[in-house]
Structure 1
Amino acid sequence: MESLLRPPSHGGLLPYFLLVQSAFAFAHALVCYTADTDKSMKQFSGPEKPVHSGLSARLYGLKNVYTALIRAYAAYHITNPQLYALAQFSFAGPLLLYASELYVYRTARINECMFPFTLAGSLTVWMWLQKGYYLG
């Protein structure tokens, strides 16, 4: 069990953060599948709020499952360039999603976007800065 919780870190912290972010994505996927749709889709409650349906919540939950799998697999194979790039895109993608929902489609408000912007933005930059360290 300990080996599952200790990805090969190669002396850095990034694999641990990827594993934690994977756990958060799985947790949110569970919320999307089990909670009230308004609760699981709260981040999309801006001025042009779409109708929150069970289908949209489950689709968002499925996206979170894929995101979690990519990040977890990259945490254990941090020196694989293809997985590293996929993991980095799994943070850059939400930046584009929330930016477009906030500024283009207006389905999100700045309050709901600050956490994804901060987290995804900082991890995208961190992964870009650490790329040479992990990939050589």
Structure 2
Amino acid sequence: MTIAQEDGYLPYFIFFTALMATLHSVICYASPRTSLKPFSGPSSPPHTPLLAHLYGVLNITIGAIRAYAAWEIRNKALYDLALGTYVGVIWLLGSEVVVGRTVRVGDAAVPLGVTVVGLGWMVGARGAYVG
């Protein structure tokens, strides 16, 4: 099964966020210090290549889950996994801003905004895709 026109725009949004996560994963390996720039809050850890690589693995995993979910949008298990990636990103960034203070609010605003839109869209459209 592939993305069909009658599936609407949600699969394209999910696939776009999958591509962005994958691109960020590449950046984590190609330019480790640059990829960790958002983690520049008052309590941020040292920016090491290992930390960037771990963040890259997280992003490639998220990207793979979302890409599969976009292609198989009517697969309940994949849909729920993709939905979980949005929850996880909100949890990660939210806790890093509020609790860990390793990320500044301004640095988290765009990724959080895109993630909240994705989560809201997926929750709202869940019945239309997986019943």
The TM-score normalised by the length of structure 1 is: 0.91
| AA in 2 matched with 1:59 | L
Using a 3 Å threshold, how does the CA distance of structure 1 residues 92 and 9 change in structure 2: closer, same or farther?
farther
CA shift, 1:92, in A, is 1.0
- Quick check: 1:15 aligned with 2:11? yes
Contact 2:28–2:56 (Cα < 8 Å) also in 1: yes
Identity %, equivalent residues: 37
Matched residue count: 131
Is there any run of 5+ residues in structure 2 with no aligned partner, and where?
none
- 1:84 counterpart = 2:66: no
**1:41–1:57 contact (8 Å) kept in structure 2:** yes
Choose from 91, 107, 126 the match for 1:112.
107
Mapping 1:1-136, distance limit 5 Å: 7-35=3-31, 37-136=32-131
Unaligned runs of 5+ in 1: none
Root-mean-square deviation (CA, aligned residues, Å) is: 1.4
**Could you tell me whether the CA contact under 8 Å between 1:9 and 1:16 is conserved in 2?**
no
Q: What is the Cα deviation at residue 38 of structure 1? A: 2.4
Q: Deviations over 1:38-62 (max 9, x none)?
A: 2110111001111011000001001
The Cα of 1:9 is off from its aligned counterpart by: 4.7
TM-score with structure 2 setting the length = 0.95
Give the letter aligned to residue 20 of structure 2: F
Residue 135 of structure 1 and its aligned partner are, at CA, apart by 1.1
